């Protein structure tokens, strides 16, 4: 009983105020029972005579009050417990609702993060350039598919590796390392270098490197953009080789060459010119050409030079130059004038053949013809040079334009990647917020990603097409101008014709449409390839000139047609070249294969092209070349070559 009192006193201290009061009353009754019990024991011990009915009545009365109080307290306690239970259930439901709402928010945030990460991966993998992200410890944290293709490795072989281990180069881990430079001086870095794959293959690359920063402004690493420029380097090497080839061709050509300024002073000469006249270059550059003419009066030279400038050129004119020892050298010279856009004289190009021995002996006509053929070929190459330069310059210009566009696009993508990297780092730390996701979306919109995704691949394809176009032109020029064997060997006529039409494309593309009809089963034809190419070139240029003369100023942009057919005809290979020009009159047609015969104005032909073509086809190959033409209906040249050597 005593323990119950202590327990009751201890409990009511922890009850609410309304329950504590009732519990104290209940405790009072317990205490009363305890006191009454002790009092009863004392009465028994002292043998005091008190009526038992009175004691029992008092105890039962107090017991009734105790039971009533206990029941009342229990009822109210149960009611209070029920109310508390309802409140607890309601609180639990509210908590579950809040948990559900928070769960939905987390799911939405997770989906947004997944979308953001997916877009980030898509941005990387759709980029035409190879992209990798390197942290400040030189560890590769991210790489796109293009980069993996460049290095020839899978993603698991790249991610987590040191950057200089996966794709090393001469500047790795040194002071020129882009990461080292950016850590010292943050900013965009552009450079070209040769990188080495793990398999040992070297790849020339154009690389852009940019810093990316954490939310706290701390440098997290760099983003590198790799572009494989192997094709461009190959094209540059080809162009350099071609330039060196033509420079060497000019210097070592078996014909003399000089160029003059507006006053008739020598600007440049080749080695053949110097060897022929026995001078050094320092002795002639800047000197008047008249100083090297044999017994020539000043007035005569000035008069002929002025006529040369007025007419735009000379063809097959004989001159006599004076060697250093005073002896004469007889030459046959062709020359043309170069003018500016307004028609003002800039300089001249002249080539000559030494005919001294021919004139002295009167016997070696074949030597003269051979040198004239070479001179005519060089003349043709010279006339085509400006057109070829234009054909190369056009794709080069839009390659450069597309590279500039890609550079700007990379800057936009770099800024976008930096923003998304911040978002990714925060997501990994579980601290992503709606504001950060919206900031990433705003960065995506600012970069105009949809435009870049459509235009970047287009720019890359255009640059690739331009490079291929330049390579095609250079390859065609190389095959056309490269001297072949002087013996007939089995050759592909279609390839010869294709290369030749490419070389002279600038002559016909603006005035004529080219149609071809090549027999699919065309056999190889024994021939001297470069000489057949020269024949095709001469006929093609004549066809273009004929169409140009027919169209006149062509203010309406009309075009004619040149059709080339290659087929077999019995025991011969047959080439037909038809143009839609004005045709050839009968009185002219019978002279078209005569040497030095031409109906063209000065500067458009020397009269040697068809004569050389006839000599090559008829005399050197045992074939035939004829022209079918009617005035107003165009011209068809028919070339036949034996299929048997």
- The conformation of residue 604, written as its DSSP 8-state character, comes to S
pLDDT for 341 beyond 70:
yes
pLDDT of residue 297: 42
Mean pLDDT of 455-462: 71
Residue 561 has a pLDDT of 92
Q: What is the CA radius of gyration of the chain?
A: 50
Which sequence spans correspond to the domains of the chain? 2-121, 127-228, 237-363, 483-642
Residue with tokens 């809040």: 98
Section 549-565 average pLDDT: 81
Q: What's the pLDDT score for residue 42?
A: 67
Asked whether 266 and 281 are in contact (CB, 8 A), the reply is no
Q: Which of 264-273, 426-435, 468-477 has the lowest mean pLDDT?
A: 468-477
How many Cβ atoms from other residues are within 10 Å of residue 644's Cβ?
8
Predicted local distance difference test score (pLDDT) of residue 1:
47
DSSP bridge partners of 525: 491
In the predicted model, what is the mean pLDDT of residues 63-82?
A: 59
| Cβ(554)–Cβ(508) below 8 Å | no
Q: Using one digit for the tens of pLDDT, what is the confidence trace for 145-197?
A: 888 888 888 888 888 888 888 888 878 877 888 888 888 888 888 888 888 88
Give yes or no for residue 6 having a pLDDT over 70. no
Q: Does domain 127-228 have CATH number 3.30.450.20?
A: yes
Side by side, the strands of the sheet bearing 560-569 are 512-518, 560-569, 572-579, 635-642, 624-629
**Pairing, β 189-196 against β 168-169:** antiparallel
Query: For residues 233 and 536, what is the distance between their CA atoms, to the nearest angstrom?
Result: 32
Of 292, 259, 300, the C-alpha closest to 276 is 292
pLDDT digits (tens, 9 = 90+) for 498-522: 888 887 787 888 889 999 999 999 9
Per-residue pLDDT at 618 exceeds 70: yes
- The reply to whether 483-642 shares the fold of 237-363 is no
* Domain 483-642 classification at class level: alpha beta
For 154, which DSSP code? -
Q: pLDDT of 207-250, one tens digit each?
A: 899 998 888 888 888 888 898 888 888 888 887 877 776 666 66
Question: What is the pLDDT, as a whole number, of residue 368?
Answer: 57
- Cβ atoms 607, 334 nearer than 8 A: no
373 pLDDT more than 60: no
Please check the confidence at residue 369 and state whether its pLDDT lies above 60. Answer: no
pLDDT at 575 over 60: yes
Least confident of 211-215, 238-242, 398-402, 454-458: 398-402
Residue of higher predicted confidence among 426 and 363: 426
Share of the chain above pLDDT 90, in %: 10
> What pLDDT score was predicted for residue 261?
92
* 484 CB-near residues (< 8 Å, 6+ apart): 528, 529, 530, 531
318 has a pLDDT exceeding 50: yes
Distance CA 325, CA 328 (A): 9
pLDDT at 20: 58
Q: Which of 144, 291, 235 is nearest to 463 (CA)?
A: 235
Task: Report the distance separating Cα 641 and Cα 517, nearest Å.
Answer: 17
Q: What is the pLDDT of residue 217?
A: 83
pLDDT grade, residue 639 (50/70/90)?
A: very high
Report DSSP letters for 314-364, one per residue: EEEEEEEEE-TTS-EEEEEEEEEEEE-TT--EEEEEEEEEE-HHHHHHS--
- pLDDT band, very low/low/confident/very high, at 254 (cuts 50, 70, 90): confident
* 439 in Cβ contact with 405 (< 8 Å): no
CA distances from 111 to 75, 333, 372 (A): 53, 81, 79
Q: Is 202 exposed, middle or buried (0-12, 13-18, 19+ CB in 10 A)?
A: exposed
- Domain spanning 237-363, CATH architecture: 2-Layer Sandwich (3.30)
Rounded mean pLDDT, 560-566 = 93
116 within 8 A of 422, measured Cβ to Cβ:
no
What does the pLDDT read at residue 572? Answer: 94
Percentage of the chain exceeding pLDDT 70: 64
pLDDT at 2: 47
**112-121, 259-268, 301-310: segment of lowest average pLDDT:** 112-121
pLDDT at 265: 93
How buried is 221 (Cβ within 10 angstroms: 0-12 exposed, 13-18 middle, 19+ buried)? buried
Q: Considering Cα of 422, then 426, then 431, then 434, what sign does the dihedral take?
A: positive
Residue 320 tokens read as: 């006599």
> Which band of pLDDT confidence, cut at 50, 70 and 90, is reported for residue 640?
very high
Residue with the bigger pLDDT between 527 and 25: it is 527
Q: Which of 501, 465, 422 is nearest to 216 (CA)?
A: 422
pLDDT of residue 480 exceeding 90: no
What's the confidence (pLDDT) of residue 82? 66
Asked whether the whole model's pTM tops 0.85, one would answer no
3-state helix, strand, coil in the chain (%, to 5): 55, 20, 25
> What three-state secondary structure class fits 132?
strand
- Is the pLDDT assigned to residue 366 strictly greater than 60? no
Run of H or E residues at 491: strand 489-491
Q: pLDDT tens for residues 483-503?
A: 556 678 999 999 989 888 887
C-beta contacts of 342-348 below 8 A and 24+ residues apart: 345/262, 345/309, 346/262, 347/259, 347/260, 347/261, 347/262, 347/267, 348/259, 348/260, 348/308, 348/309
Cα–Cα distance measured from residue 538 to residue 610, given in angstroms and rounded to the nearest whole number: 7
Report the DSSP beta bridge partners of residue 119: none
């Amino acid at each position: 009983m005593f323990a119950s009192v202590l327990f009751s006193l201890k409990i009511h201290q922890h009850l609410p105020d309304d329950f504590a009061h009732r519990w104290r009353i209940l405790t009072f009754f317990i205490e009363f029972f305890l006191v009454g019990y002790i009092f009863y024991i004392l009465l028994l011990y002292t043998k005091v005579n008190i009526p038992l009915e009175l004691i029992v009545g008092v105890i039962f009365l107090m017991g009734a009050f105790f039971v009533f109080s206990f029941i009342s307290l229990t009822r109210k306690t149960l009611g209070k417990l029920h109310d508390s239970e309802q409140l607890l259930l309601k609180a639990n439901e509210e908590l579950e609702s809040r948990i559900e709402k928070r769960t939905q928010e987390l799911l939405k945030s997770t989906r947004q993060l997944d979308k953001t990460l997916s877009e980030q991966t898509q941005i990387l993998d759709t980029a035409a350039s190879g992209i990798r992200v390197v942290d400040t410890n030189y560890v590769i944290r991210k790489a796109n598919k293009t980069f993996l293709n460049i290095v020839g490795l899978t993603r698991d072989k790249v991610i987590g590796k040191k950057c200089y281990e996966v794709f090393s180069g001469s500047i790795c881990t040194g002071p020129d390392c882009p990461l080292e430079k950016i850590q010292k001086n943050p900013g965009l870095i552009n450079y070209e270098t040769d990188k080495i794959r793990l398999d040992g293959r070297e790849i020339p690359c154009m690389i852009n490197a940019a810093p990316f920063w954490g939310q706290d402004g701390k440098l997290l690493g760099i983003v590198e953009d790799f572009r494989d420029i192997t094709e461009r380097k190959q094209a540059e090497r080809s162009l350099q080789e071609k330039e060196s080839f033509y420079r060497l061709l000019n210097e070592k050509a078996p014909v003399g060459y000089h160029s003059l300024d507006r006053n008739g002073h020598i600007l440049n000469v080749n080695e053949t010119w110097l060897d022929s006249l026995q001078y050094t270059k320092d002795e002639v550059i800047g000197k008047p050409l008249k100083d090297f003419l044999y017994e020539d009066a000043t007035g005569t030279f000035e008069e002929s030079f002025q006529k040369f400038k007025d007419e735009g050129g000379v063809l097959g004119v004989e001159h006599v130059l004076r060697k250093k020892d005073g002896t004469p050298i007889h030459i046959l010279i062709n020359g043309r004038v170069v003018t500016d856009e307004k028609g003002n004289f800039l300089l001249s190009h002249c080539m000559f053949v030494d005919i001294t021995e021919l004139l002295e002996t009167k016997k070696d006509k074949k030597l003269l013809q051979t040198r004239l053929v070479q001179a005519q070929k060089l003349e043709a190459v010279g006339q085509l040079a400006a057109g070829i330069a234009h054909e190369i310059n056009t794709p080069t210009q839009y390659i450069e334009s597309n590279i500039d566009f890609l550079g700007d696009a990379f800057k936009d993508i770099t800024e976008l990647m930096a923003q998304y990297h911040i978002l990714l780092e925060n997501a990994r730390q579980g601290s992503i917020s709606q504001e950060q996701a919206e900031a990433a979306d705003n960065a995506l919109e600012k970069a105009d990603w949809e435009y870049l995704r459509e235009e970047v691949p287009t720019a890359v394809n255009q640059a690739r097409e331009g490079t291929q176009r330049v390579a095609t032109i250079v390859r065609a020029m190389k095959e056309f101008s490269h001297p072949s064997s002087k013996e007939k060997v089995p050759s592909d006529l279609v390839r010869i014709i294709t290369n030749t039409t490419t070389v002279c494309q600038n002559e016909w593309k603006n005035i004529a449409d080219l149609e071809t009809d090549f027999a699919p089963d065309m056999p190889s034809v024994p021939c001297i390839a470069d000489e057949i190419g020269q024949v095709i070139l001469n006929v093609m240029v004549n066809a273009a000139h004929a169409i140009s003369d027919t169209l006149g100023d062509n203010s309406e942009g009309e075009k004619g047609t040149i059709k080339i057919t290659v087929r077999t005809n019995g025991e011969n290979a047959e080439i037909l070249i038809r143009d839609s020009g004005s045709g050839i009159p009968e009185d002219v047609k019978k002279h078209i294969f005569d040497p030095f015969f031409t109906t063209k104005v000065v500067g458009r032909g020397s009269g040697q092209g068809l004569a050389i073509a006839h000599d090559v086809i008829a005399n050197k190959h045992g074939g035939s070349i004829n022209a079918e033409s009617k005035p107003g209906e165009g011209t068809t040249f028919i070339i036949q070559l034996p299929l048997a050597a």
